Amino acid sequence: MSKLYYKYGVMGSSKTASALMCKFNYEQQGFRVLLLKADMDNRDISDGKIIVKSRIGLSSACITFNKNENLVEFFNKLNAQNDYDVIIVDECQFLTKKQVEQLKNLSIEYTVLCYGLLTDFKTELFEGSKRLIELADSLQELKSVCSCGRKANVNARFVNGELSTEGDVVAIEKDEINYQPMCYICYCKLLKAKENNNG
């Protein structure tokens, strides 16, 4: 049944692995799957092609789109040649509000599954995530755990090993920037320690 699904979680909650396993399952049953992600996430390249790659090693070639793309028009051009049944979007937090609305329109005829973060490192909703919550037919949290054992619900950003609460919302992981899934209690403890050190 065609619907808009939103599967969200913190960093390290196996969102991308779940997206790739979902793609595999659909393809095993003979469905044609279009795998998409925003072009701002260009960390992973294989043989000159952008890929979706999970932390556990699963990967697949994908097609990228930019934030100005009309996804209905974009899909229709691709679909004319490939006759897709299912659309899977990884890193869907980077979608614009309009693009989520376009995916909702596509979900009238096609199954659309979106995988991504819910909130940024400041614990605020991404634009795309907010609209997905409002429009998705199905919401599912993919859970992860904090180092203390509690459920993780914060994407804590660290810059050169220090907790960061400032900067651009979008900062792809690199040598000096990384993210850790944390529970809110541990996050607040780190925030307090940072404030005490700076005070």
- CATH of residue 91's domain is 3.40.50.300
| Beta strands 59-61; 49-53: pairing state | antiparallel
Residue 17: partners with Cβ closer than 8 Å, 6 or more residues away: 54, 55, 56, 58
Domain count of the fold of the chain:
1
Question: pLDDT per residue over 6-53, tens digit each?
Answer: 999 999 899 999 999 999 999 999 999 999 999 876 666 655 568 888
Q: What is the pLDDT of residue 155?
A: 95
CA torsion angle for 94, 99, 105, 111 (degrees, to 10)? -30
Q: What is the pLDDT of residue 41?
A: 67
Tell the burial category of 128 from Cβ atoms under 10 Å away from its Cβ (0-12, 13-18, 19+).
buried
Residue 117, pLDDT > 70, answer yes
Question: pLDDT per residue over 124-142, tens digit each?
Answer: 999 999 999 999 999 999 9
Q: What is the pLDDT of residue 102?
A: 98
Active-site residue (options: 91, 134, 176, 195): 91
For residue 187, being part of any structural domain is answered with no
For residue 177, being part of any structural domain is answered with no
pLDDT tier for residue 177 given thresholds of 50, 70 and 90: confident
Residue appearing with tokens 């404030």 = 195
pTM for the full predicted model: 0.90
Question: pLDDT per residue over 178-193, tens digit each?
Answer: 899 999 999 999 999 8
Q: Can you give the residue range of the structural domain that contains 46?
A: 4-143
For residue 58, being part of any structural domain is answered with yes
For residue 157, being part of any structural domain is answered with no
For residue 170, being part of any structural domain is answered with no
Question: pLDDT per residue over 43-101, tens digit each?
Answer: 666 555 688 888 888 889 999 999 999 999 999 999 988 899 999 999 999 999 999 99
Position with higher pLDDT, 2 vs 118: 118
Does the annotation mark 91 as catalytic? Answer: yes
